Amino acid sequence: MKEQDLQVYQKDILEKGFAVINSVFTDREIEKIAETIQKTDSSTENFRKSDDLFAVRQFLKEVPEVKDLVFNENVKTIVRELFGERYFAVKSIYFDKPETSNWYVAYHQDLTISVDKKLEMQGFGPWTTKKNQFAVQPPLPVLENIYTIRIHLDDTDEHNGALKVVPGSHAKGIYRPETIDWNTETEEICHVKKGGVMIMKPLTLHGSNRTTDGRRRRVIHIEFSDMELPQELQWSEKLN
For 99, counting Cβ atoms within 10 Å of its Cβ (0-12 exposed, 13-18 middle, 19+ buried), the class is: exposed
Question: Residue 90 pLDDT > 80, yes or no?
Answer: yes
* Confidence band for 52, pLDDT divided at 50, 70 and 90: low
Per-residue model confidence (pLDDT) at position 151: 98
How far the first Cα of the chain sits from its last, in Å, is 21
Give the Cα separation of 133 and 116 in Å (integer): 7
> Taking a C-beta distance cutoff of 8 angstroms, is the pair 70, 151 a contact?
yes
- What global pTM score does this model have? 0.95
Each residue of 165-212: pLDDT tens digit? 999 999 999 999 999 999 999 999 999 999 999 999 999 999 998 888
Q: How much is the average pLDDT of 27-40?
A: 95
Question: In whole angstroms, how far apart are CA 130 and each of 52, 57, 100, 114, 133?
Answer: 20, 11, 27, 11, 5
Per-residue model confidence (pLDDT) at position 31: 98
Q: Which CATH superfamily is domain 3-225 in?
A: q2cbj1_9rhob like domain (2.60.120.620)
Give the Cα separation of 95 and 186 in Å (integer): 27
Question: Residue 4 pLDDT > 80, yes or no?
Answer: no
Per-residue model confidence (pLDDT) at position 5: 80
What are the residue ranges spanned by the domains of the chain?
3-225
The alpha helices in 88-193, defined as continuous H runs, are 140-145
Q: What is the DSSP letter of 208?
A: E
What percentage of the chain reaches a pLDDT higher than 70? 98
Q: In the sheet that 188-189 helps form, which strands lie side by side, from edge to edge?
A: 105-108, 206-208, 163-165, 188-189
Give the Cα separation of 164 and 195 in Å (integer): 19
Each residue of 8-29: pLDDT tens digit? 999 999 999 999 999 999 999 9
Q: What is the DSSP letter of 147?
A: E
157-168 exposure pattern, b = at least 16 Cβ within 10 A, e = fewer: eebbbbbbbbbe
